[in-house]
Amino acid sequence: MHILDILQNSLRAGATRIGLEVNEESLSHRLTFTITDNGKGMSEETRTNATDPFFTSRTTRRIGMGLPLLKQNAEQTGGHVSIESEEGKGTQVTALFHRDHIDCPALGDLVGTVVMTVTSNPGIEFNYHHRKDGLEFVFNSGEIKSALDGVGLNDPAVYPLLCEMVTNNLSEMNVDLTT
């Protein structure tokens, strides 16, 4: 859910390019994910306060829980969260989790998160790169669009095809897809 939340932040920030990198290292029990976007970015004050649950730039509610919960969950495992951002250029959020810690949350429905983000937002350029123990899978929405030869990413028939493609590739890498 953390990944989905940060992806939604990128979309709300007006990003037209979003990258998701997931790196799993079985021997060191580390899971790192990085989300990079070209959205509106944050001021230094906003970036500094972004992990404070009582600070938000949203006007629809007075608290922001996404980044603070991500930070809390990462730190509970001995990991951390870093945020780099520049106004007008975009934001990069990186989270490190120690998977062997009892408080480490499950990766969740990564397939659904990736495919729903792509099919619900066909106008964005979305790149997903997953590495695990020397194996890798790269998903580029632009390449998928070209392969679909005029069929839109948001066509209902595309969703199950993309789910199958991502699931098969991650399964071949022995990525735990249980939620």
1-20 pLDDT tens trace: 899 999 999 999 999 999 99
Please give the pLDDT value at position 36.
Answer: 98
pLDDT digits (tens, 9 = 90+) for 140-162: 999 999 999 999 999 999 999 99
User: How high is the mean pLDDT of the chain?
Assistant: 92
Check pLDDT > 60 for residue 58: no
Residue 105 inside a domain? The answer is: yes
Q: Which of 32, 36, 109 is nearest to 78 (CA)?
A: 32
pLDDT-derived band at 60 (thresholds 50, 70, 90) equals low
The verdict on residue 179 lying in a domain is: no
Q: Can you give the CATH number for the domain in which 75 is found?
A: 3.30.565
Q: Is residue 43 part of a domain?
A: yes
pLDDT of residue 48 exceeding 90, the answer is no
How many helices (DSSP H) and strands (DSSP E) are in the chain? 6, 6
| Inside any domain, residue 178 | no
Does residue 19 lie in a domain region?
yes
Q: Is the pLDDT of residue 22 over 60?
A: yes
Question: Residue 86: which domain range?
Answer: 2-172
Domain assignment of residue 142, yes or no: yes
Q: What is the domain count for the chain? A: 1
Between CA 159 and CA 116 the distance in angstroms is 8
Cα gap 105→79, rounded to integer Å: 12
Answer for the pair 15, 31: CB distance below 8 angstroms, yes or no.
Answer: no
The per-residue pLDDT for 81 is 96
**Structure confidence at residue 62 (pLDDT):** 47
Q: What is the mean pLDDT of residues 89-105?
A: 96
Name the residue with tokens 């990085």: 34
Q: How does 128-143 read in b/e, with b if 16+ C-beta sit within 10 Å?
A: bebbbeeeebebebee
Confidence check: pLDDT of 136 > 70 = yes
Decide if 126 is inside a domain.
yes
Which are the contacts of 102, defined by CB distance < 8 A and separation ≥ 6?
none
Confidence at residue 59, expressed as pLDDT on a 0 to 100 scale: 55
Q: Which residue has the tokens 């964005």?
A: 124
pTM of the model: 0.91
